Structure 1
Amino acid sequence: MLRPESLPDHLAERITSHSAARSAATHGEFVLYWMRTAVRAHENPALDVALLAGERLGRPVFIYHALSERYPYASDRHHTFILEGARDVEAECAVRGIGYAFHLERPGHRQPALRLLAERACIVITETMPVPPLDWLTDGLADQAPCPVWSVDTACVVPMPLVEKAHTRAFAFRDDTAAIRRDRLQRAWPEVTPVHPAFVPSALPFAPVQLASADIPALVAQCEIDHGVGPVPHTRGGSRAGYARWEAFKHSGRLARYAAKRNDATIDGVSRMSAYFHYGMVSALRVARECAAMAGDGPEKYLDELLVWRELAYAFCYWHAAPTTIEGIPAWARDTLATHERDHRDVLSWERLARARTGDDLWDATQQSLVRHGELHNNVRMTWGKALPLWSENAEQALERLVDLNHRYALDGRDPASYGGLLWCLGQFDRPFTPPVRVLGTVRPRPTGEHRKRLDLNAYRRRVQRPAWSSAPSVLVVGAGVSGLACARTLADHGFTVTVLEKGRGVGGRLSTRREGDWHFDHGAPLMHFGDARTRRFVESWEHDGYLAALQDAHTGRGAMSTWPKHLAADLPVQTGVQVQRLLREGSQWHAHDQRGQAHLADVLVLAIPAPQAAALLGTDTPVDLATLQQVRMAPCWSTMVVFDAPRPVRLTEQLRHGELRLSDARVARCIWQPALPGRPTADAWVAQSSADWSRAQLERPPEEVCAEVAPLLRAQLEIAGTVLHAASHRWRYARTEQGVDSPCLWSAAQSVGACGDFAMAFPQAASDVERAWLSGVAMAGRILGG
C-alpha cells in the first residue's frame, strides 16, 4: 500500500492526503499528475511524488494540465501567461520523457476531462494551494474519485504541513520555523528520474492543444473570459523567461542593492519575480538556495521577503479555517473597523477604482500600474490597499474590492501571498496603532498624502503610465456606438493611442437621444437588458454613478438614453460629423479618407459600424478573416416620435411595463411612453417603433409620409382624446441583427483590421443587442492587445 510516509522524507513532509482512508487503486491504468500551480517539469515536488508513486505502483505517469474559462478573474492576461508557461512545460516533458497533454476549455472543448481521467487513475497527485477555488476543487475531486488524491507543497522551503498553526506575526513565524528553514536551505534538490517511457492515455476525453505550434492569441480569443484585461508583453510566461529575469536581477547588481533600493518605486530595484513564483514557473526552492549562498544585506533582505513574509502567508492560509474572508483578520481589527463603520467616507464605484478615476493622483497611478503592467511595486501596493476602505461602504466591501482589483489585474494575484498582503491592509500580521483614525480606527494608516512626500510622483507616473508594449500601435475606431466605445476605452486604459470617428452629431448610435424643444425621445433602443457576468460589475457601477437606471429586469439611461454612451466617450478623442468614405492600406498603415478628403492614419483599423456598411467600406479588399461580414443580415426599423396634448387613458397604466406597450399593428408594434423612464420630461411623449417586416417594406419612403401614417394611427390605437402636438419619424436602416456570425469579433492579424458589433453572436449569456455590442467591442480590444 502506498502511503505518504513511505516516500523519502523531503517529499513525505510536503504531502497532504485528501482521501486518507483510500488506498491506491490497483486496477488504475496510470498515475495522474494534475498540474496547476507548479508549471514546470524540474525541481517540482509534486511531479517527483508522482514519478516515485509510478515507480512503486508499476504504473506510468501522465501529466494533465488544464485551463478553465470558469476560474475567478479569468482573462486574456492570465490565460496568455499560463499558456506561455505551459509551452515551456510541454518542451521540458518531451526532453525528460514524461507524458503531458494540455486541455484548453473553450466552445466545443468543455468536457469533464479531469473527472474522467481520475476514474482511470490509481492515484491523483496535485499541488497544495490553500485558497479558493483550488482547495475546493481538490477536496471535490477527492470526494468523487475512486482513488486517493494527494496534494504536495511545491511553493515553500518550509513545507506548510510542518508549520502546524496559523501564525499572525512575522517575527513569531520567523523564529518558530528558523531551524527547519536553515536545514532545508542547505539541501540540494534530488531530481527523480522517470522509469517508464513517456505515456499518454489512449482515448483521451479531450483534444490536446499542441502548444509548440499553437497560435496563443487566437486560442485565448475563443475562450469565454474577460477580454478587457490584456496580456503583459514585457512579462512573458514560462520558466525560460522567469529564470532569465532572475539571472538578470542577480548579475546586474540589483540583488546586492536590494535592501537599500527596494522601497523606491521609481527605479528598477526589485526582482519582479512574483508572477513566476505564483504560477510555479520558477522554483522558489532553487531561487532561495542560490540567494542563501550569497553574502550581503541585499540577499539577506530578499530571503526575508521570500521565506518569511511570503511563506507566512502560505502557512496562514493552509492552517486558518477562513483565510480569504474578513474572518482572516484579527478580532481587534474587525472590532475597530466595525466601530468606525459609520465614519464619513466617499464611496466610489468599482469602475472609478478600476479605471483609475478617483482623483487621487498617486492612487490612480498605482492602479494604472496594475491595469497596464499587471504588477504593483510592493511599497506602493500597501498605500494602494490602505486607501480602499476609505472609498468602500464597510470592511467587507473593502476586502472584496482589494481582492477583485488585485486578482483581476495582477499577474501574481489569487495566491496566499496576495491574500497576506491584502489582509495586511486591514490589520492582519500587524498590531493596533493609536490614536485611532477615521474609518480605519486603530488599523495602521498609510495616507497617500504622506506617501506622496517621499516619492517622486512625476517619475513614478512616467514609469507606470507608459504602455506595456515597447511600441504600441495607434488605433483608429470607425463608429462611436457602444461597440466602438467599448473597444476604444479598453485600449486607451491600456495606454494605446486611439482615435474614434463618428459620422453622426453625437455618440451612442441607436442609444442616442433626440431633442425637440422641451421634448426628449429615446428613439433607438430605449431599454436595455444585461445578463452576462462580464458586464455585471460595470452595470452596477453605471447605476451607482448615475448613468444607468434600473427598471426591474431592464435598464435605461438616467435622464436620457444618451447619458450612458456620453459617459463611455468622456475620456476618448472622438471626432463627430466625420464620415469615412474610403479605406486604403499603404505600407503598415491604414488611411481612412472622410467626406472632406482628409486622411486619418493609424496602424490598426477597427470598424465598429453595422456589418453591411463595414463590408461595403472594405469592398473587394476585405481580408479573408472578415469575409463573414457578408453573411450578416440586419433588420430596419422606423421610429416615430409623437407628443399629444392629452394624457394617456388610465387603463393603459396597467398594461405598461417600463413604459413599454406591445400592439398588434405592425406600424406601431412597440410603443414607449417616455415619462415612464427616469428623469424624462413629463410631457405626454411617445416613441412608436414599427415591425421589421413593415419597416423593410417602407424602407425608402420619405420620413414625412411615414410620420403622417403612423402618428394618427398611434393616437387611435392608444385611444388618446387629444391632438398631435408634434410628430417626426426616423429610419434606422440597421436596427437589429437578424443573422449574425458565431464569433466575438472579426480580426485579421495580417492586415491589422477588425470589425465588432452586435452581429457577434458568440455571447450566449448576453441579454440584448446592446450587451452583445459591448462584449464584442471589448473582445475586439482583446485581439489588438493580444498582438
Structure 2
Amino acid sequence: MLRPDSFPDHLAERITDHSASAACVSGGRFVIYWMRTAVRAHENPALDVALTAGQRLGLPVFVYHALSEKYPYASDRHHTFILEGARDVEAECVARGIGYAFHLERPGQRGPALRTLAARAALVVTETMPVAPLDWLTDSLAEAATCPVWSVDTACVVPMPLVGTAHTRAFAFRDATAAVRAARVSADWTDVAPHTPAFVPDDLPYEPLRLAHADIAAMVARCEIDHGVAPVPHTRGGTVAGYARWRAFVTAGRLDRYAAKRNDASIDGVSRMSAYFHYGMVSTFRIVRECTERGGDGAVKYLDELLVWRELAYAFCYWHDAPDTLDAIPVWARETLARHESDTRTRHTWETLARSGTGDELWDTAQQSLRVHGELHNNVRMTWGKAIPMWSTNASESLERLIDLNHRYALDGRDPASYGGLLWCLGQFDRPFTPEVGVLGTVRPRRSDEHRQRMNFPAYRAHVSRSAGLSPRVTVIGAGISGLSCARTLHDHGIAVTVLDKSRGVGGRISTRREGQWMFDHGAPSLRLDDARLARYAESWIQDGVLQPMHEGEYVGARGMNTLPKHLARDLTVKTGVHVASIARAGAGWAITDREGAAHDCDIVLLATPAPQAAVLMSTIEQPVAFAQSLAGVSMLPCWSSMIVFDAPPPALVSESLVGGELRTDLPMLHRAWRQSSRRGRSTDEAWVVHSEGGWSADHIEAEPADIASWVSDALRTQLQIAGDITYAVSHRWRYARVQTGLDDACVFDESRGIGACGDWGAAGATRRSHPSVERAWLSGIALAGRVLGRATSRSRPVP
C-alpha cells in the first residue's frame, strides 16, 4: 500500500491525507494532479508527489487544471490572471513531457468533470490551500472518491503540517520554527522526471482548452462570472511575467533598499509579487534561495515578511478551524469590539466603499488602487482595513466587508496571507492597546489622517491615479439601465466615458412620470434582482434609500422607479436631449452625428438601445459590422402603458384581493395593473398604471394615445367595480418594451473595430428567459463593459 510516509522526507512532510479510512491506492488507470494554486511545472512538490506515486504504481500521470465559474468572487480579473498562468504552465508541461488538460467551465463545458475522472483514478494529488473554498472542495472530493485524495504544501518553506499549532504572534512562530526553517532555506529542489510519455486520457469528460493560441479575453467573456471587475493590464499572470517582475525588482536594486523603502507607498519600493505567490506561479523556494544568497538588510527584511509573516498566516489557517470568521481573532479582541458595538459611527454601504465614496481621501485612494490596479500597498492596507469597522455596524460586518473588498478586487485575494492581514485589522497577531478608542476599543488604532501626515499623499494619489493602461474614449448611446451599468463600470476603472440619450432624463423604461400630486411608474413597474452578482448592489441601494423592498423579492424606486437610474448616473457625464442620427468610421475611432448636426467623437461606441433602434443606427455605417445581422434578428413587442386616476376606490372586497397592489386579468387590454397609491410616499388618490399585453399593443400600435387611454380606463373601472368618475387618463407608447426573440449572448462586440451593443435582449435566449428584463439589462451592460476592458487588456502571448 502506498502511504504518504513512504515518500522521501522532503515530500512526505508536506502531504496531508484527506481520504476516508477505507480509501487506499489500489486499481485505477492513472494518477491525477489536480492543479489549483501551484501553477508551475518546476519546484512543485505536489507535481513531484504525483510523479513519484505514478512511478511506484506503474501508472501514467496527468495534470488536471480547471477554472470554475462558481468560485467566490469569480471575475474577469481573476479568470484572466489564472488563464495567463495556465498558458505558461501548459507550455512548461509540454517542454517536460507531462500531460496537461485544462478545463474552462463555460456554456457547453459544465459538469462534474473532476469527480468523473477521480472515479477512474488510483490517486488524486492537489495542493494544500487551507482557506475556503479550496479546503472544503478537497474534503468534498475525498468524501465522494473511492481513491485516496492527498494535498501537498507547495507554498511554504516550513511545511504547514510540521508547525503543529495555530500561532497567534509572529515572534512565537519565528522562534518555534527557526530550526526547521534554517534547514530548508538554502536547500536545492530537484524536480522528479516523468516516467512515461506525456499522457492525457482519451475519454476526458470535457473538451480541453488549448491555451497556446487561445483568445483569453474572448474565452473569459463567455463565462458566467462578474464582468465588472476588469483584468489588470500591468500585471499579467504566469511564470514568465512573475519571474520577470522579480528580476526587475532585484536588478534595479530595490531588494537591497527594501528595508528602508518598503513602507513608502508613493514609490515603487515593494516587489508586488504577492499574486504570483498566491497562485504559485513562481517558486517560493527559489525566491528564498536567491534572497538568502544575496544577503543584506533588504533581503533579510524581505525574508522575514515572506518566511515569518506570510507563513505564520498559512499555518494559522491550516491549524485553525474557521480562519474566515470572528472566532479567528483573540477573545480579548472580540470582547472589546463587542463592548464598543453601540459607539457612534458613520455607516457606509458596500457600494459607497467599493466605489471610493467615503470622503476620506487616503482611504478612497487606497480603494481606487484595489479597484483599478488589483493591489494595495501593505502599509496602506493596514490603515485601509482599520477604517472599515468605523463605517460598519459591528465586527462581524466589518470582517465580511474586509474579506469582500479584498478578495473581490485584489489579485492576491482569497489567500491565507490575505486573511492574516485582514484579521490583524481586528486584533489578530497583535496585543491590546490603551487607552481605549471608539469602536475599536483596545484593538490597535490606525487613523487615516495621521497616516496621511506621515506620507507624501499627493505623490501616492498620483501614483494610484496613473492610468492602468486603459485610455480609450468611450461613448455609450442610451441611458437606460444597460447603458448606465456599462458606463458606470467603465468609469470605475478609469475610462473616460460619455453617455448620450435622446430623452430629457435617464432611465429609459425605468421611468416615473409626475402629474401634479400624482406619480406613475409607467415603465418597469418593479425590479427583480435575483442574480447573485447583483445582490450586493441591491442591499446597498436599499440602505442608501434608492430602492424599497416590495414583496417576493421585488423592489421599487424609493422616490419613483427613476430613482435608481438617477443614482447610477450621478458620477457620469450624461448628455440628454441628444438624438443620434448616424455613426461613421473616423480613422481608428468613430464620429457620431446627432440630429442637430453636432459631432461626438470617440474611440469606442457602444449602443445601449432597443435592438431594432441599434440595428437602424448600425445601418448608417458604411462597412457592415459583423453582429449587425444578429441584432436584426431580435424581435421586441410594444406596450401601451396607461396612467389612470379615479375619484373613488374600488369596493373593499376588491381592494383586499389586490395582493401587493397588483391586478392581473385575462383581458389583453388589462394585462397587468399596479395601484400606485399602495406605494410608499404616493398620493392616496386612486391612481393606477396599466400595461396592455404585447400582442394587443402591437395590433393597436398606431392608435391615438387618447383612444387607448379611454378604452383602458373604462375597462379598468369595470374590472375594479369603481362607481366613481375617471379623473385622469393618459397613455404612453413604449414601442420596444418586451423581448420576444433575444440573443443567447449577453452582449455583442466587435473588438477589432471598437463597437458593441447591449440591452435586455442580451442573455434572453430560450435558456435565459427566466431572468427579469431589468436584470438582463444590467448584466448585459456590465458584460459589454467587460468586453471593452478585456479588449484594452488583451494579450495573446505572454511577454518575456
TM-score by length of 2: 0.97
Higher mean C-alpha displacement, 536-545 vs 707-716: 707-716
Distance 1:715 1:149 in 2: 69
Shift, 1:651, TM fit: 2.2
Secondary structure at 1:696's aligned position in 2? helix
Q: Deviation per CA, 1:132-180, whole angstroms, max 9, x where unpaired?
A: 1111011111111111111110000111111111100001111111111
CA deviation vs aligned residue, 1:18-59 (integer Å, no higher than 9, x gap):
127456533211111000000000110111111111111111
Going from structure 1 to structure 2, the CA distance change for 1:739 and 1:765 (only over 3 Å counts) comes to closer
Q: 2:713 aligns with which of 711, 714, 725?
A: 711
Aligned pairs (5 A) from 1:224-623: 224-469=224-469, 471-553=470-552, 554-619=554-619, 621-623=623-625
Cα distance per residue 1:98-131 (max 9 Å; x no partner): 0000000111111211111111111111000011
Query: Equivalents in 1 of 2:20, 2:141: separation in Å?
Result: 13
Within the candidate set 680, 686, 689, 2:688 is matched to 686
Give the superposition deviation at 1:627.
Answer: 2.5
Q: Is the partner of 1:556 in helix, strand or coil?
A: strand
Which secondary structure does the structure 1 equivalent of 2:509 belong to?
Answer: helix
Aligned partners of 1:626 and 1:746 also within 8 Å? no
CA contact 2:513–2:520 (8 Å) conserved in 1: yes
AA partner of residue 772 (structure 1): R
Matching residue of 2:776: 772
Q: How far apart in 1 are the matches of 2:694 and 2:288? A: 68
Name the SS for the 2:514 alignment partner: strand
**CA deviation profile, 1:175-199 (whole Å, cap 9, x unmatched):** 1111111110121111111111100
Q: Which residue of 1 aligns with 2:663?
A: 661
Query: Are the equivalent residues in 2 in contact too, given 1:2–1:23 (CA < 8 A)?
Result: no
Task: Give the Cα–Cα distance (whole angstroms) in 2 for the partners of residues 202 and 640 of structure 1.
Answer: 62
Retained in 1: the 8 A contact 2:32–2:50?
yes
1:750 aligns to 2:758 (yes or no): no
Percent of pairs with identical residues:
64
Residues 531 and 765 in structure 1, CA contact (< 8 A), matched pair in contact too? no
| CA displacement at 1:666 relative to structure 2 | 1.9
Residue 328 of structure 1 aligns with an amino acid whose one-letter code is A
1:724 corresponds in structure 2 to 726
* 3-state SS of paired residue (1:511): coil
Matched, 1:644 2:641: no
How many equivalent residue pairs?
Answer: 786
The amino acid that maps onto 1:376 is L
The superposition leaves residues 720-760 of structure 1 with CA deviations (integer Å, 9 ceiling, x where unpaired) of 22222222111000011011000111111111111101001
Match of 1:38 in 2: 38
CA shift digits 1:452-482 (9 cap, x unpaired)? 111222222222123311x521110000000
Aligned mate of 1:782, from 756, 772, 786? 786
Question: What is aligned with 2:795?
Answer: none
Equivalent pair of 1:100/1:200 in contact (CA under 8 Å): yes
Tell me, what secondary structure is at the counterpart of 2:519? Answer: strand
Q: Where do 5+ consecutive residues of structure 2 fail to align?
A: 792-800
Tell me whether 763-772 or 193-202 shows the greater mean CA deviation. Answer: 763-772
Whole-Å separation in 2 of the counterparts to 1:435 and 1:588: 62
Cα deviation code 1:203-258 (max 9, x no counterpart): 11110000012111111111111111000010000000000000000000111111
Matches for 1:185-224 after TM superposition, within 5 Å = 185-224=185-224
User: Does structure 2 retain, via aligned residues, the 8 Å contact 1:481–1:510?
Assistant: yes
Q: Distance in 2 between matches of 1:115 and 1:59?
A: 19
Structure 2 CA distance for partners of 1:103 and 1:159, relative to 1, 3 Å: same
Residue identity matched to 1:300: V
Q: State how far apart, in whole Å, the 2-side matches of 1:68 and 1:77 are.
A: 14
Whether contact under 8 Å (1:491, 1:785) holds in the other structure is yes
Q: CA deviation at 1:716?
A: 2.6
Deviations 1:283-319 (Å, cap 9, x if unpaired)?
1111011011112111111111011000000000111
Deviation at 1:767, TM superposition (A): 3.8
User: Does the 8 Å CA contact 2:274/2:412 hold for their aligned counterparts?
Assistant: yes
Paired letter, 2:509: R
Displacement after TM superposition at 1:336 (Å): 0.6
CA deviations 1:475-511 (Å, max 9, x no partner) are 1000000000000000000000000001000000011
Partners of 1:28 and 1:121 within 8 A in 2: yes
Question: Which secondary structure state, in structure 1, belongs to the residue aligned with residue 638 of structure 2?
Answer: strand
Alpha-carbon distance between aligned partners in 2 of 1:104 and 1:777, rounded to the nearest angstrom: 24
User: d(CA) in 2 for partners of 1:638 and 1:350?
Assistant: 38
Q: 1:20 to 1:633 in 2, by over 3 A?
A: closer
Root mean square deviation, CA, Å: 1.3
| Structure 1 residue runs without a partner (length 5+) | none
Partner residue, 1:17: 17
CA displacement at 1:590 relative to structure 2: 1.0
- State the shift of 1:6 in Å: 1.5
Asked whether the equivalents of residues 45 and 153 of structure 1 are also in contact (C-alpha less than 8 Å), the reply is: yes
For 1:321 and 1:482, locate their aligned partners in 2 and report how far apart those are by CA, in whole Å.
43
1 CA distance for matches of 2:666 and 2:111? 45
SS of aligned partner of 2:528: coil
Q: How does 1:695-710 map to 2 (within 5 A)?
A: 695-710=697-712
Query: Which region of structure 1 is more displaced relative to structure 2, 405-414 or 108-117?
Result: 108-117
Q: How far 1:441 sits from its partner (Å)? A: 0.6
The verdict on how the C-alpha distance between 1:45 and 1:393 changes in structure 2, with shifts beyond 3 A counting, is same
Q: What is the TM-score when the length of structure 1 is the normalising length?
A: 0.98
Q: Secondary structure at the match of 1:581?
A: strand
Report the CA distance between 1:713 and its aligned residue: 2.8
Query: What residue in structure 2 maps to residue 164 of structure 1?
Result: 164
- Residue type matched to 1:536 in 2? A
Of residues 375-384 and 508-517 in structure 1, the stretch that sits farther from structure 2 once superposed is: 508-517
- Mapped to 1, the partners of 2:26 and 2:678 lie a distance apart of 70
Q: Deviations over 1:679-706 (max 9, x none)?
A: 2222221112111111101101121222
Matched residue SS, 1:125: strand
Deviates more, 1:553-562 or 1:606-615: 553-562
The structural deviation recorded for 1:399 is 0.4
Q: Pairwise mapping of residues 87-236 of structure 1 onto structure 2 (< 5 A)?
A: 87-236=87-236
SS in 2 for 1:33: strand
Q: Which residue in 2 is equivalent to 1:75?
A: 75
Alignment-mate amino acid for residue 480 of structure 1: A
DSSP-derived class of the 1:500 partner: strand
Task: Give me the whole-angstrom Cα distance separating, in 2, the residues matched to 1:622 and 1:399.
Answer: 52
- Tell me how far 1:663 sits from its aligned partner: 2.5
Q: Distance in 2 between matches of 1:414 and 1:584?
A: 45
Structure 1 counterpart SS, 2:81? helix
Shift of the alpha carbon at 1:539? 0.5
- Which sits farther off after the overlay, 625-634 or 413-422? 625-634
Shift of 1:678: 2.0
